Amino acid sequence: MIKRITWRRTLVLFVCTAAIPLPVSAQPSGDSKLDRVASERAALGYGWSQVIVRAVDATSHPAVQALLERAGGNAGRELRLIRGRAALMPNAALAGLARNPLVAGISIDRPVRGATERTGATIGADSVRQQLGYDGAGIGVAIIDSGVTAWHDDLTGPSGQRVVEFVDFVNGVTSPYDDDGHGTHVAGIVAGNGYDSGGARTGIAPGAHLLVLKTLDESGTGRVSDVIAALDHVLARKDALNLRIVNLSISAGVYEAYDSDPLTLAAKRVVEAGVVVVAAAGNAGRSVDGRTLYGGVTAPGNAPWVLTVGASNHQGTADRSDDAAAVFSSRGPAALTNNAKPDVLAPGVGIESLSDPASALYMVKAAYLLGGTVPTAYQPYLSLSGTSMSAPVVSGTIALMLQANPALTPNAVKAIVQYTAQSYPGYDALTQGAGFLNARGAVELAQYFAAPVAAPDPEPSSWSGQLIWGNQLMRHGRLMPDANAWAADVTWGAARTPAGENVRWGVSKEDERNIWEARCLDVTCRTVRWGFGKAQNVVWGTTCGGLDCSGLWSVEIAGTVADPTAATVVWGSTVVWGSVDGDTVVWGSIDGDTVVWGSRCGGPWCDTLWNPDIR
């Protein structure tokens, strides 16, 4: 049976091999400047908490440190990117600090944790390098993780040193190292050259160069404030190193909405500066007793401006036909805000990449170590699974895209990745996003954006041809390079630009008008113009009716909708995924278990409620 996650507050364990339910806490109530956990700590009146305090504006930012000290706290790292500062504060002082007009918000400095021979062939990256001639050369990728073993043969060798800069936010060491091993594995997926395997285990973009920022310690854990400081460093070094991508194979629990969370706000500043932020979705897709779970996407992957990557399973072959969604991969919607996630799936099962003989993973995962084809003093490769491995597959693909077309903005990159993905039957959009990553298609469409011609853009039938803009799944249109949706100041999912113009993505394939069809994802199911209408919550499985969505997404459901303010909403003809007046909607239950609306659940009791043709 499919269940909706019951949210509880706890540390997110974004491990590489195990999938666990992802608990989070509820959204802060009222106008409080404290997130839910900080509010609970303040109510205790004793003890201390590590927090992040944000100033209301740049003018008040310098005064925040003095406020913290006067309140009896110890000011820590400055977080310029969000006009904030980390601090250790007495819980008894939090409520008073929140009432100060110079303070915009106080959040718990919560923990974060680190969450390929056939991989490159499966997604088409091998053919991009061999036939199109792109390897990511000149593109900088920032890897925020546990560090890197820069001396590994696959990061040096004939192609030169791939790690051009290293900064340690944990211990302040100046030379590159990786006492956990997670970051080294991620770095190899992005830019390893396959030297120790005769080229067999080459990364996706072996020509790219890396800025490695260590924010996780030897146990693979860290703090949100360190990640924010690392993002700040990315912006400081962006131009000098041509940094175009940030890879975050780390995750944190969702304690507040993405528009107030310091971590997601910091990611937004980076995206607005023209850098694509790629984040792992998390590994909370299945419960310990084998049940499929929805709603487990972690932060910062819950934010609409982040390109969020779930995991697929290539089944050990290069053939796309047997690919499947990994059972552990977190499904949407995002907690608290109920926005559709993930954006795309990429290989994340049995990914073979670099090992570090001095790391914790080398000892803990000894059974998964692999030898190379040249003599080495240790086993140079390690096989790991998790969305931590899927994210750098996408980051490497984006490096190839940006080498082909350096003018692409983060929004354009995300749209191209979604549009060229391969959508598989049997999976809803909360499981697979727009589909399974197609690196060859993404690079080809990036090339078209660089030099559009009168002929139609490349569009094989295997492409999804879809775009998840906010909570609307758009299709039957063509992306155009000059659409205003790609502007740096347009927030992904917005209906209008900051100047008040309708957001436009492209044209209808049928008549070249600026109209695409919405796949029944707003409650009226009317035709949605690209640049007209508001993004509304995704409707999964509604009887929408009307000519605009006939044949696109419909199912007849018996029953009626109960009072939407009631605790339980029974099966009905029109149910919107998401919330009503801030309250989570429950769609019904079978034998006391909550049922997630919008997934093909199977079973005799489900056949009469859910059309098996709906995916």
User: What is the DSSP code (8-state) at residue 577?
Assistant: S
Annotated catalytic residue 482: no
One-letter amino acid identity for 184? Answer: T
Give the residue carrying structure tokens 């769609």.
587
Residues 6+ apart with CB under 8 A from 54: 82, 83, 84, 103, 104, 105, 106, 107, 262
* Pairing mode of beta strands 48-55, 84-90: antiparallel
Residue type, 341: K
Place of tokens 């974004």: 14
Residue 279 has what DSSP assignment? E
* Among 145, 178, 261, 343, the one annotated catalytic: 145
Cα–Cα distances in angstroms (integers) from residue 164 to residues 176, 184, 338, in the given order: 10, 14, 39
What three-state secondary structure class fits 177?
coil
Tokens of 46: 């004793």
Distances (CA, A) of 3 to 292, 412, 579, 611: 7, 35, 17, 19
Residue 388 designated active-site? yes
Residue of 312, 383, 388, 554 with catalytic role: 388
Residues in a beta bridge with 38: none
362-371 contacts, C-beta under 8 A, 24 or more apart: 362/181, 365/16
| Two tokens, residue 491 | 């927030």
Dihedral sign from CA coordinates of 74, 77, 80, 85: negative
Pairing mode, strands 3-4 and 293-294: parallel
Tokens of 5: 């996650």
| Torsion sign (Cα): 9, 15, 20, 22 | positive
Q: Would residue 145 show up in a list of annotated catalytic residues for this protein?
A: yes
Three-state helix/strand/coil letters over 15-81: CCCCCCCCCCCCCCCCCCCECHHHHHHHHHCCCEEEEEEEECCCCCHHHHHHHHHHCCCEEEEEEHH
| CA–CA gap between residue 176 and residue 150 (Å, rounded) | 6
Hey, is 5 helix, strand or coil? Answer: coil
Structure tokens at 273: 């500066």
Q: Which of 61, 182, 185, 314 is catalytic?
A: 182
Among residues 474, 434, 441, 443, the alpha carbon closest in space to that of 460 is found at: 441
CA–CA gap between residue 159 and residue 143 (Å, rounded)? 19
Rounded-to-integer distance, Cα 238 and Cα 272, Å: 12
- At residue 413, the 3 state secondary structure works out as helix
- Residue 181's φ and ψ, nearest 5 degrees, are 105, -15
Contacts of 52 (CB under 8 A, 6+ apart): 79, 82, 84, 85, 86, 87, 106, 107, 108, 109, 224, 225, 228, 262
Catalytically active residues are: 145, 182, 388
